[in-house]
Amino acid sequence: MEKVVYFIEGDGIGPEVWASARPVLDAAVKKAYGDSNKLVWKELLAGEKGVRETGENLPEATLTALKGAELAMKGPLGTPVGKGFRSLNVTLRQMFDLYACIRPIKYFPGIESPVKHPERVDMVIFRENTEDVYAGIEWAAGTPEAKKVVAFLRDEMGAKIADTAAVGIKPMTEKGCKRLARRAVKFAIDQKRPVVTLMHKGNIMKFTEGGFRAWGYEMAANEFPDQVMTEGQAAEGARKPVTINDRIADAMFQEVLIRPEKYSVVATTNLNGDYISDALAAQVGGLGLAPGVNMSDTLAFFEATHGTAPTIAGKDMANPGSLLLSGAMLLEHVGWFEAANLIHAAVSKTIAARKVTIDLASQIDGAKAVGCREFGEILGANL
Ligand code: NAI
């Protein structure tokens, strides 16, 4: 079986991490399936390379190809600070309605972690990507717009609110919350993960965050009655493959430190998801290795989660691990688990052998730093 993967090289360290990671992905597929499965790579231009070759940072041909694509993968894209330049990442997310941001968090033995038992963490975070305070609807304090909204809220809605307030809006819809929760539940069922936790702040924000919780439970009960049970039903003796529960966001931060082994798939709103993804990645010492994907109902767009690392670009120092592990997620997404497992095992083996890129070497006792290219070669040899 062949799978077409559209790829964007990206800016800064993008070309280096691709040159190092892509051969490892191809080699893993070959090792697992011989010639019967193959990734077919098709490059799309974006960012600086797009500007160089077409004059556009997001050429029409790239958008057209992505419209019909199922699988895509990207290196980091720079966002020059300045007026009139929107982040390409945000643009892509909005254009293609990539509503679920998915981040697996897992520990690789040998890496320094700030906690005693990082190996107990094995979670996949599903973060809603399009709603919540991230919708970007806000007005600066003292502006005529803010004053108008404040006046409406106070005079017509009876809200107590100061004239001088900056105001932001937190829109959350049933459709937006349910489609995110649905993805998380389907993933748990497909990948045989036992628990889905709805993480929210519904005790305080009753209709937005509380809505997320209620819609999540409702969706699971209506759409997956045979596969999913609540914690309460489990306590009464029900037996189904997946348990759905919910935790208030602040308690969840305590839980993932104290009892991480109890959690498996976490579905959450945009802002909570932003916080918990990075906190968990740091907990396993793995910000530099963290992979991710943004998904719509038709397109899965895998990405390295780091930026363009301009200060080390072109110096053969970058760690290709985040891109490589994003590729392993892609392999899992298409059901090629054997190839993905080979990659995870190769990363573990390479870290255990302590020959790693400099960012990891600084986190591993007695490790020797190797370049981006050599690291890729070692990973390939360790498959
Ligand atoms: P960054 O992730 O590029 O760098 C942060 C630090 O981590 C730097 O010290 C860098 O050298 C190091 N680093 C990052 N990736 C590394 C790797 N693979 N191997 C070794 N070291 C690595 O974040 P920063 O500096 O905030 O952003 C730089 C540019 O990247 C900006 O234009 C930003 O907008 C863009 N960016 C793009 C992202 C994306 O495309 N998904 C995500 C984050 C930032």
The protein residue with its alpha carbon nearest to ligand 1, atom 20, reads 318
With a 6 A CB cut-off, is 309 part of the ligand 1 pocket?
yes
pLDDT band of 7, cuts 50, 70, 90 = very high
Q: Among 11, 308, 319, say which to mutate for ligand 1: greatest number of ligand atoms within 8 Å of CB.
A: 308
User: How many residues can be counted in the chain?
Assistant: 383
Q: How far is the CA of 258 from the centre of ligand 1 (A)?
A: 30
Looking at the annotation, which residues are catalytic?
134, 201, 250, 274
Q: What are phi and psi of 243, to 5 degrees?
A: -105, 135
pTM of the model: 0.92
Q: What is the pLDDT of residue 79?
A: 80
Q: Average pLDDT, stretch 136-154?
A: 94
Q: What is the pLDDT of residue 145?
A: 95
Mean of pLDDT over the chain: 94
Residues 62-75 as b or e (16 or more Cβ within 10 Å = b): bbebbeebebbbbb
CA-nearest of 203, 197, 193 to 127 is: 197
pLDDT digits (tens, 9 = 90+) for 192-232: 999 999 999 999 999 999 999 999 999 999 999 999 999 99
pLDDT digits (tens, 9 = 90+) for 16-35: 999 999 999 999 999 999 99
Q: How far is CA 84 from CA 79, 80, 90, in A?
A: 11, 10, 14
With a 6 A CB cut-off, is 319 part of the ligand 1 pocket?
yes
pLDDT digits (tens, 9 = 90+) for 277-315: 999 999 998 767 889 999 999 999 999 989 999 999 999
The protein residue with its alpha carbon nearest to ligand 1, atom 34, reads 79
Q: What are phi and psi of 271, to 5 degrees?
A: -70, -45
Q: How far is the CA of 213 from the centre of ligand 1 (A)?
A: 33
Query: What string of DSSP letters covers 101-146?
Result: EEEEEE--TTS--SSS-GGG-EEEEEEE-SSGGGG--EE-TTSHHH
The protein residue with its alpha carbon nearest to ligand 1, atom 36, reads 307
**pLDDT at 249 exceeding the cut of 60:** yes
End-to-end CA distance of the chain: 21
User: In this predicted structure, which of 71-85, 143-157, 274-288 has the lowest mean pLDDT?
Assistant: 71-85
pLDDT digits (tens, 9 = 90+) for 124-143: 999 999 999 877 789 999 99
Q: What is the pLDDT of residue 85?
A: 65
With a 6 A CB cut-off, is 288 part of the ligand 1 pocket?
yes
With a 6 A CB cut-off, is 268 part of the ligand 1 pocket?
no
CA-nearest of 107, 32, 92, 38 to 282 is: 107
Q: How far is the CA of 328 from the centre of ligand 1 (A)?
A: 21
Q: How far is the CA of 310 from the centre of ligand 1 (A)?
A: 7
Torsion of the alpha carbons at 236, 238, 242 and 246, rounded to the nearest 10: -20
